[in-house]
Protein backbone atom coordinates (compact mmCIF):
# COMPACT_ATOMS: atom_id res chain seq x y z
CA UNK A 1 0.00 0.00 0.00
CA UNK A 2 1.35 3.45 -0.80
CA UNK A 3 0.72 5.93 1.96
CA UNK A 4 1.46 9.61 1.34
CA UNK A 5 2.12 12.28 3.97
CA UNK A 6 0.55 15.49 2.64
CA UNK A 7 1.64 18.66 4.40
CA UNK A 8 -0.85 21.50 4.21
CA UNK A 9 1.32 24.27 5.63
CA UNK A 10 2.45 24.81 9.20
CA UNK A 11 1.15 26.10 12.50
CA UNK A 12 3.08 27.47 15.46
CA UNK A 13 1.39 27.07 18.83
CA UNK A 14 2.19 27.98 22.42
CA UNK A 15 4.67 25.77 24.27
CA UNK A 16 2.02 24.94 26.90
CA UNK A 17 -0.41 24.02 24.12
CA UNK A 18 2.06 21.40 22.85
CA UNK A 19 2.80 20.08 26.33
CA UNK A 20 0.69 21.06 29.33
CA UNK A 21 1.84 20.99 32.93
CA UNK A 22 -1.57 20.97 34.62
CA UNK A 23 -4.12 18.18 34.24
CA UNK A 24 -7.42 20.00 34.94
CA UNK A 25 -8.68 21.81 31.87
CA UNK A 26 -9.23 25.39 33.17
CA UNK A 27 -5.59 25.87 34.31
CA UNK A 28 -4.31 24.16 31.16
CA UNK A 29 -6.27 26.52 28.90
CA UNK A 30 -5.39 29.57 31.02
CA UNK A 31 -1.70 28.68 30.71
CA UNK A 32 -1.97 28.53 26.91
CA UNK A 33 -3.66 31.94 26.80
CA UNK A 34 -0.94 33.47 29.05
CA UNK A 35 2.03 31.72 27.47
CA UNK A 36 4.40 33.92 25.41
CA UNK A 37 6.60 31.06 24.21
CA UNK A 38 5.92 29.74 20.72
CA UNK A 39 6.89 26.40 19.25
CA UNK A 40 8.71 26.16 15.96
CA UNK A 41 6.28 25.91 13.03
CA UNK A 42 4.76 22.41 13.17
CA UNK A 43 3.49 20.58 10.09
CA UNK A 44 -0.24 20.27 9.44
CA UNK A 45 -0.31 16.77 7.99
CA UNK A 46 -2.99 14.69 6.41
CA UNK A 47 -2.71 11.36 4.64
CA UNK A 48 -3.60 9.65 1.37
CA UNK A 49 -3.70 5.85 1.29
CA UNK A 50 -3.70 4.05 -2.07
CA UNK A 51 -5.70 1.01 -0.99
CA UNK A 52 -6.72 -1.68 -3.52
CA UNK A 53 -10.37 -0.95 -2.67
CA UNK A 54 -10.07 2.79 -3.28
CA UNK A 55 -8.25 5.97 -2.40
CA UNK A 56 -8.55 6.88 1.28
CA UNK A 57 -7.80 10.33 2.66
CA UNK A 58 -7.43 10.76 6.43
CA UNK A 59 -7.99 14.37 7.52
CA UNK A 60 -7.90 17.19 4.98
CA UNK A 61 -5.52 19.72 6.56
CA UNK A 62 -5.82 23.49 6.66
CA UNK A 63 -6.60 26.03 3.96
CA UNK A 64 -5.07 29.42 3.16
CA UNK A 65 -6.86 32.20 4.98
CA UNK A 66 -9.43 30.15 6.89
CA UNK A 67 -8.20 29.99 10.46
CA UNK A 68 -11.24 30.15 12.67
CA UNK A 69 -13.29 33.06 13.97
CA UNK A 70 -11.39 36.19 15.08
CA UNK A 71 -13.56 36.49 18.21
CA UNK A 72 -12.29 33.19 19.59
CA UNK A 73 -9.49 33.70 22.19
CA UNK A 74 -7.52 30.83 20.65
CA UNK A 75 -7.26 32.59 17.30
CA UNK A 76 -4.43 34.61 18.93
CA UNK A 77 -2.75 31.42 20.13
CA UNK A 78 -2.04 29.90 16.72
CA UNK A 79 0.09 31.18 13.85
CA UNK A 80 -0.81 29.48 10.59
CA UNK A 81 1.28 29.60 7.44
CA UNK A 82 -0.70 28.08 4.58
CA UNK A 83 -0.66 29.17 0.94
CA UNK A 84 -3.14 27.93 -1.69
CA UNK A 85 -0.59 25.47 -3.16
CA UNK A 86 -0.38 23.82 0.29
CA UNK A 87 -4.04 22.83 0.25
CA UNK A 88 -5.20 19.24 -0.10
CA UNK A 89 -6.22 19.42 -3.77
CA UNK A 90 -2.83 20.64 -5.02
CA UNK A 91 -1.04 18.30 -2.59
CA UNK A 92 -2.94 15.26 -3.91
CA UNK A 93 -2.21 16.23 -7.51
CA UNK A 94 1.47 16.77 -6.70
CA UNK A 95 1.52 13.19 -5.38
CA UNK A 96 0.05 11.99 -8.68
CA UNK A 97 -3.41 11.43 -7.18
CA UNK A 98 -6.76 12.66 -8.49
CA UNK A 99 -8.89 14.43 -5.84
CA UNK A 100 -12.01 13.29 -7.73
CA UNK A 101 -10.94 9.66 -7.24
CA UNK A 102 -11.03 9.80 -3.43
CA UNK A 103 -13.44 7.14 -2.18
CA UNK A 104 -13.38 7.82 1.55
CA UNK A 105 -12.42 10.76 3.75
CA UNK A 106 -12.00 9.75 7.37
CA UNK A 107 -11.76 12.55 9.93
CA UNK A 108 -9.83 11.85 13.12
CA UNK A 109 -11.73 14.82 14.57
CA UNK A 110 -13.38 17.98 13.33
CA UNK A 111 -11.01 20.77 14.39
CA UNK A 112 -10.51 23.39 11.67
CA UNK A 113 -6.96 22.39 10.74
CA UNK A 114 -8.15 18.84 10.05
CA UNK A 115 -11.25 19.61 7.98
CA UNK A 116 -10.13 22.77 6.13
CA UNK A 117 -9.48 20.96 2.85
CA UNK A 118 -12.91 19.32 2.78
CA UNK A 119 -14.04 21.29 -0.29
CA UNK A 120 -11.36 19.52 -2.38
CA UNK A 121 -12.88 16.08 -1.71
CA UNK A 122 -16.50 16.80 -0.80
CA UNK A 123 -17.87 14.15 -3.19
CA UNK A 124 -16.19 11.31 -1.25
CA UNK A 125 -17.85 9.30 1.49
CA UNK A 126 -17.11 11.23 4.68
CA UNK A 127 -16.58 9.11 7.79
CA UNK A 128 -16.44 10.50 11.33
CA UNK A 129 -17.31 9.19 14.77
CA UNK A 130 -20.88 9.72 15.87
CA UNK A 131 -19.81 11.44 19.10
CA UNK A 132 -17.50 13.82 17.20
CA UNK A 133 -20.22 14.74 14.71
CA UNK A 134 -22.78 15.47 17.41
CA UNK A 135 -20.28 17.47 19.50
CA UNK A 136 -18.95 19.51 16.58
CA UNK A 137 -22.36 20.42 15.18
CA UNK A 138 -23.93 21.29 18.54
CA UNK A 139 -24.93 24.87 19.26
CA UNK A 140 -21.87 25.29 21.51
CA UNK A 141 -19.57 23.77 18.87
CA UNK A 142 -17.92 27.08 17.89
CA UNK A 143 -16.94 27.71 21.53
CA UNK A 144 -15.03 24.43 21.45
CA UNK A 145 -13.17 25.29 18.25
CA UNK A 146 -15.57 23.53 15.87
CA UNK A 147 -17.36 24.95 12.81
CA UNK A 148 -20.72 24.37 14.53
CA UNK A 149 -24.12 23.76 12.95
CA UNK A 150 -23.04 25.21 9.58
CA UNK A 151 -21.18 21.96 8.94
CA UNK A 152 -24.53 20.13 8.73
CA UNK A 153 -25.33 22.10 5.57
CA UNK A 154 -22.05 21.10 3.92
CA UNK A 155 -21.81 17.36 4.48
CA UNK A 156 -23.87 14.35 5.48
CA UNK A 157 -21.23 12.00 6.87
CA UNK A 158 -21.41 8.33 7.71
CA UNK A 159 -21.12 8.37 11.48
CA UNK A 160 -19.53 5.37 13.14
CA UNK A 161 -20.11 3.93 16.61
CA UNK A 162 -17.30 1.31 16.63
CA UNK A 163 -19.53 -1.79 16.38
CA UNK A 164 -17.04 -4.22 14.84
CA UNK A 165 -15.67 -5.58 18.08
CA UNK A 166 -12.44 -5.13 20.00
CA UNK A 167 -9.06 -4.90 18.31
CA UNK A 168 -5.72 -5.29 20.08
CA UNK A 169 -6.06 -3.23 23.30
CA UNK A 170 -9.09 -1.27 22.10
CA UNK A 171 -12.54 -2.26 23.38
CA UNK A 172 -14.22 -1.32 20.10
CA UNK A 173 -13.43 -0.63 16.47
CA UNK A 174 -14.93 -0.10 13.04
CA UNK A 175 -13.52 -1.91 10.01
CA UNK A 176 -13.40 0.36 6.96
CA UNK A 177 -12.23 -1.99 4.21
CA UNK A 178 -13.61 -5.35 3.05
CA UNK A 179 -10.08 -6.74 3.45
CA UNK A 180 -10.22 -5.78 7.14
CA UNK A 181 -6.84 -4.07 6.98
CA UNK A 182 -8.00 -0.52 7.74
CA UNK A 183 -9.62 -0.07 11.12
CA UNK A 184 -10.92 2.95 13.03
CA UNK A 185 -10.39 2.92 16.79
CA UNK A 186 -11.70 5.38 19.37
CA UNK A 187 -8.97 7.56 20.90
CA UNK A 188 -11.00 10.19 22.78
CA UNK A 189 -9.57 12.92 24.97
CA UNK A 190 -8.23 15.68 22.69
CA UNK A 191 -11.85 15.77 21.55
CA UNK A 192 -14.64 13.55 22.85
CA UNK A 193 -15.09 11.73 19.54
CA UNK A 194 -11.48 11.57 18.35
CA UNK A 195 -10.52 8.42 16.43
CA UNK A 196 -7.30 7.00 15.02
CA UNK A 197 -6.84 4.93 11.87
CA UNK A 198 -4.87 1.68 12.07
CA UNK A 199 -3.60 0.25 8.77
CA UNK A 200 -2.17 -3.27 8.80
CA UNK A 201 0.80 -3.74 6.49
CA UNK A 202 2.68 -7.05 6.34
CA UNK A 203 4.48 -7.18 9.69
CA UNK A 204 3.53 -3.82 11.21
CA UNK A 205 0.75 -1.32 11.82
CA UNK A 206 0.70 2.23 10.47
CA UNK A 207 -1.22 4.34 12.97
CA UNK A 208 -2.64 7.65 11.74
CA UNK A 209 -3.06 9.21 15.16
CA UNK A 210 -4.55 12.63 14.38
CA UNK A 211 -4.16 14.74 17.51
CA UNK A 212 -4.43 11.81 19.97
CA UNK A 213 -0.87 12.90 20.68
CA UNK A 214 0.97 15.81 19.10
CA UNK A 215 4.13 13.72 18.64
CA UNK A 216 5.38 10.17 19.15
CA UNK A 217 7.74 11.48 21.84
CA UNK A 218 4.88 13.10 23.78
CA UNK A 219 3.01 9.78 23.67
CA UNK A 220 5.91 8.02 25.38
CA UNK A 221 6.44 10.97 27.75
CA UNK A 222 2.77 10.42 28.68
CA UNK A 223 2.07 14.14 28.21
CA UNK A 224 -1.29 15.82 27.73
CA UNK A 225 -1.74 18.83 25.43
CA UNK A 226 -3.08 22.22 26.51
CA UNK A 227 -6.49 22.04 24.86
CA UNK A 228 -7.48 18.41 25.42
CA UNK A 229 -11.12 18.26 26.48
CA UNK A 230 -10.76 15.30 28.84
CA UNK A 231 -7.36 14.66 30.43
CA UNK A 232 -8.53 11.34 31.89
CA UNK A 233 -9.76 10.00 28.53
CA UNK A 234 -6.61 11.34 26.86
CA UNK A 235 -4.53 9.41 29.41
CA UNK A 236 -6.55 6.24 28.75
CA UNK A 237 -6.14 6.66 24.98
CA UNK A 238 -2.38 7.23 25.40
CA UNK A 239 -2.16 4.04 27.44
CA UNK A 240 -3.98 2.03 24.75
CA UNK A 241 -1.81 3.50 22.00
CA UNK A 242 1.40 2.66 23.86
CA UNK A 243 -0.05 -0.80 24.52
CA UNK A 244 -0.55 -1.20 20.75
CA UNK A 245 3.12 -0.38 20.13
CA UNK A 246 4.06 -3.03 22.72
CA UNK A 247 1.88 -5.67 21.00
CA UNK A 248 2.72 -4.87 17.37
CA UNK A 249 5.51 -2.95 15.65
CA UNK A 250 3.74 0.34 15.02
CA UNK A 251 4.59 3.41 12.93
CA UNK A 252 3.06 6.22 15.00
CA UNK A 253 2.03 9.18 12.84
CA UNK A 254 0.52 12.20 14.62
CA UNK A 255 -0.62 15.10 12.40
CA UNK A 256 1.67 17.74 13.92
CA UNK A 257 4.85 15.72 14.55
CA UNK A 258 7.79 17.07 12.50
CA UNK A 259 9.17 13.50 12.36
CA UNK A 260 5.99 11.82 11.07
CA UNK A 261 6.76 12.04 7.33
CA UNK A 262 10.26 10.58 7.81
CA UNK A 263 8.93 7.80 10.07
CA UNK A 264 6.36 6.90 7.41
CA UNK A 265 8.95 6.88 4.61
CA UNK A 266 11.23 4.54 6.57
CA UNK A 267 8.39 2.66 8.30
CA UNK A 268 10.17 3.32 11.60
CA UNK A 269 8.31 1.37 14.27
CA UNK A 270 8.16 1.47 18.06
ZN1 LIG B 1 -7.12 19.07 17.12
204 CA → ligand 1 middle, Å: 26
| pLDDT at res. 40 | 98
89 CA → ligand 1 middle, Å: 21
43 CA → ligand 1 middle, Å: 13
pLDDT, the chain, mean: 96
Tally of CB atoms within 10 A around 250: 21
Quick one: average pLDDT of 111-116? 94
235 CA → ligand 1 middle, Å: 16
Is 68's pLDDT higher than 70? no
Chain CA centroid to CA 238, Å: 14
DSSP result, the chain: -EEEEEEEEEEEEBHHHHS-S-SSHHHHHHHHHH--PBPPPEEEEEEEEEETTEEEEE-----TT----TTSGGGGSEEEE--GGGSHHHHHHHTT--GGGEEEEE-S---HHHHGGGGGGTTSEEEEEHHHHHHHTSTTGGGGTS-GGGHHHH--PEEE---S--BTTBS--EE-STTS-EEEEE--SSSTT-EEEEEEETTEEEEEEETSSSSHHHHHTTPPPSS-S-HHHHHHHHHHHHHHHHHS-EEEEETT-TTHHHHHHHT---
Tally of CB atoms within 10 A around 51: 19
212 CA → ligand 1 middle, Å: 8
108 CA → ligand 1 middle, Å: 9
Quick one: average pLDDT of 68-76? 77
205 CA → ligand 1 middle, Å: 22
Query: What is the pLDDT confidence band of residue 255, given thresholds at 50, 70 and 90?
Result: very high
| pLDDT at res. 37 | 97
Burial class of residue 40 in the structure, from the number of CB atoms within 10 Å of its CB (0-12 exposed, 13-18 middle, 19+ buried): exposed
193 CA → ligand 1 middle, Å: 11
> Quick check: 105 and 118 in contact, CB under 8 A?
yes
228 CA → ligand 1 middle, Å: 8
| pLDDT at res. 66 | 67
190 CA → ligand 1 middle, Å: 7
225 CA → ligand 1 middle, Å: 10
211 CA → ligand 1 middle, Å: 5
- CATH second-level architecture of 2-266? 4-Layer Sandwich (3.60)
CA 95 → CA 6, 51, 109, 197, 229, distances in Å?
8, 15, 24, 21, 35
Quick one: average pLDDT of 175-181? 98
Is 142's pLDDT higher than 90? no
28 CA → ligand 1 middle, Å: 15
| pLDDT at res. 147 | 82
Amino acid sequence: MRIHALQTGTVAIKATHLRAHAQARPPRVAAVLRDRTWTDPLPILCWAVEHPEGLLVVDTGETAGAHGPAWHPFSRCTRFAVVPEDELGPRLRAAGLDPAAVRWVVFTHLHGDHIGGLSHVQHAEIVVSDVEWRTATAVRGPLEGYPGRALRHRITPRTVTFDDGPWEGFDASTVLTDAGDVRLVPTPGHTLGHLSVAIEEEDHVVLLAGDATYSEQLLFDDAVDGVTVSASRHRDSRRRLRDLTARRPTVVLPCHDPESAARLAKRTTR
